[in-house]
Structure 1
Amino acid sequence: MSPYAVPLLSTLGGAAFAYLLGRFLGRHGITPEGDFGGQALSLIGAVLLSSFILLTGFQVAGSWSALSNARSGTYDEARALTDTYWDAGGLAAGDRTAVRALLRQYTRDVRTAEFPELARGRTSPAAWQALDRVRGAVRAAGAARPEQAAAKAAAQTSLATVYETRSDRAAAVKAGIPRVVWFAMVASGAFLIAFPAVLGLTSTARHLVAVSFAGAAVAFAIVLAAQLNHSFREPFGVTRAAFVFAEARFTQIDSPAVMAGRAVPRAPG
């Protein structure tokens, strides 16, 4: 099913809900003057609208902020992976090859295997193990020369950042708005739509069109907040673009021109 099918069906459902309430509960004649006070109706309607806007606004703002932080975190992790890859260039040839191969493996696992798991609300144990193998390889790397020791220390520092950003990503997967807030938002939205019909206000074709539009807007707002609440789920969730970028950077770093540019010249004599 298309990820856009749910918000579309929900929007149509909200419009149909509002229309049916207005059609069967609304009065079909002219409302007798004096039955309802205009100020009272305006006040009640404003209170209902404000309640819904308050709940939905907090939902959308909080979910959007969490989504933005999760997206930034993936690029922070990709940048730390690139730094580790670069730092590994100062290790001995065998250690450099081993560490860089493991970094590529971890990045590929995150991109291909873990992102589908993130959409289901969990991380991949295989990706954690792949990252642990990178740490083991860096720790086991030799440091016989000063430049190798410096490269090893830098790689360990960059790798610590990878662990930190990955842990933040694991926390973002589990984060979410409490369920009771969703119930309150749905209830307030439903009553906001039903308000004219419950009071028995005049039901005309123009009124039904306006109320149906309001129902569609309320339903769309609820579904939008729900979809933004999942940081790694379509259609608005974080994509794997950061890790595709990291793999491209690995290839650039491996290019002969870059390798020659960071080669350490031998001491004379």
Structure 2
Amino acid sequence: MSLYVVSLLSTLGGVAFAFLAGKFLGSGRRAKAGEFTGQAQSLIGAVLLSSFILLTGFQVAGGWSALSSARSRTYDESRALADTYWAAGGLAPADRARVRSLLRQYTTAVRTVEFPELAHGRTSPAAWQDLDRIRAAIGTASAATAPRQAARSAAQDSLATVYQTRTDRAAQAGGRMPGVTWYAMLVGGGLLIVFPALLGVAVTMRQLAALCCVGAAVAFAICLAAQLGNAFQRPLGVRATAFTLADRRFAQMDAEGFTVSAAPPP
């Protein structure tokens, strides 16, 4: 099911919950009489609101930070792949063709196969194998001359960065916020919605409409935090744009014919 549909259903669920809570809890004797003083109502309401804001802010801020970090790391990996591709231009023709072909194969596998798996917290074993083949191909490349030795060393250094950023990406795909915070958010949000009904606010249809807006806002906040909880899940998660860029850089380097430099110019 599309996460957009999930967001809509969650918001409507918050509205329905608020309406039912206001309709049934707001019709009792205490709700009609308003037995709580204004100071008590303000204090309890402020505590509930601040608690929910604290929990939601923690989730959203943590999720957004993880999302930004994951996006940045994909571009770091893309840049390292381009550096490796460039450095491979200094290898012997046969080695150069093999390494560059494997780099294109790996980048395509990450973009088309692995990214859908990242949304479920998994990486692609095939992509890992492609990366290992690249390392083996570079390690066995001829280094009979000083320029070729420098090219191989530069390719190995850039590929080490690819391994590091890929490992970081795998960790971010499997990372999640503590489960207890979700239960706390649900309970806090529910109490925040039913609190006015318990104190006699939700009696008229106009007041019910206002309470429904509160329910919608609470449900949307929880749903937004949930969507930000997975850095690679649509619609807000990181996409494979960085690896599309890497493919374009490969094609650009092929078209420009740079095949002997060990590193790109500054």
Which range, TM-score by smaller chain? over 0.9
- Letter matched to residue 71 of structure 1: R
* Partner of residue 246, structure 1: 246
Question: Cα deviation per residue 1:73-113 (whole Å; 9 max; x = unaligned)?
Answer: 11100100000000000111111000000000100110111
* Partner of residue 144, structure 2: 144
Deviation at 1:116, TM superposition (A): 1.2
- Letter matched to residue 135 of structure 2: R
* Partner of residue 84, structure 2: 84
Deviation at 1:5, TM superposition (A): 0.2
* Partner of residue 63, structure 2: 63
Distance in 2 of aligned mates of 1:201 and 1:74: 50
Distance in 2 of aligned mates of 1:116 and 1:104: 19
| Cα distance change of structure 1 residues 258 and 207 upon mapping to structure 2, 3 Å threshold | same
User: Does the aligned pair in 2 maintain the 1:74–1:169 contact within 8 Å?
Assistant: yes
Q: Does 1:114 align with 2:114?
A: yes
The aligned runs of 1:137-176 (5 Å cut-off) are 137-176=137-176
User: Does the aligned pair in 1 maintain the 2:41–2:199 contact within 8 Å?
Assistant: no
Distance in 2 of aligned mates of 1:186 and 1:157: 47
Distance in 1 of aligned mates of 2:260 and 2:124: 37
Paired residues in the alignment total 261
Question: Cα deviation per residue 1:101-139 (whole Å; 9 max; x = unaligned)?
Answer: 000010011011111111111101110000000000000
Distance in 2 of aligned mates of 1:259 and 1:154: 15
User: Does the aligned pair in 2 maintain the 1:27–1:201 contact within 8 Å?
Assistant: no
* Partner of residue 222, structure 2: 222
Deviation at 1:244, TM superposition (A): 0.5
Distance in 2 of aligned mates of 1:229 and 1:2: 16
* Partner of residue 5, structure 2: 5
- Letter matched to residue 259 of structure 1: F
CA RMSD of aligned residues (A): 1.7
User: Does the aligned pair in 2 maintain the 1:122–1:170 contact within 8 Å?
Assistant: yes
* Partner of residue 187, structure 2: 187
- Letter matched to residue 224 of structure 1: L
Secondary structure (helix, strand or coil) at the match of 1:24 reads: helix
Distance in 2 of aligned mates of 1:247 and 1:46: 53
Stretches of 4+ aligned residues off by more than 4 angstroms: 28-33, 260-263
TM-score normalized with structure 1 length:
0.93
* Partner of residue 49, structure 1: 49
Question: Cα deviation per residue 1:34-66 (whole Å; 9 max; x = unaligned)?
Answer: x22111101100000000000000000000000
Question: Cα deviation per residue 1:6-59 (whole Å; 9 max; x = unaligned)?
Answer: 0100000001100111011113899447x2211110110000000000000000
Secondary structure (helix, strand or coil) at the match of 1:251 reads: helix
Distance in 1 of aligned mates of 2:116 and 2:174: 15
Distance in 1 of aligned mates of 2:58 and 2:132: 38
Distance in 2 of aligned mates of 1:201 and 1:91: 76
Question: Cα deviation per residue 1:170-204 (whole Å; 9 max; x = unaligned)?
Answer: 10011111111100110000010011112333511
Distance in 1 of aligned mates of 2:203 and 2:79: 59
User: Does the aligned pair in 1 maintain the 2:86–2:259 contact within 8 Å?
Assistant: no
- Letter matched to residue 10 of structure 1: S
Distance in 2 of aligned mates of 1:103 and 1:49: 52
**Structure 2: tracts of 5 or more residues without a match:** none
User: Does the aligned pair in 2 maintain the 1:28–1:203 contact within 8 Å?
Assistant: no
User: Does the aligned pair in 1 maintain the 2:227–2:233 contact within 8 Å?
Assistant: yes
TM-score normalized with structure 2 length:
0.94
- Letter matched to residue 115 of structure 1: F
Distance in 1 of aligned mates of 2:210 and 2:23: 13
User: Does the aligned pair in 2 maintain the 1:11–1:216 contact within 8 Å?
Assistant: yes
**Structure 1: tracts of 5 or more residues without a match:** 264-269
Identity of aligned residues (%): 62
- Letter matched to residue 110 of structure 1: V
Distance in 1 of aligned mates of 2:49 and 2:141: 63
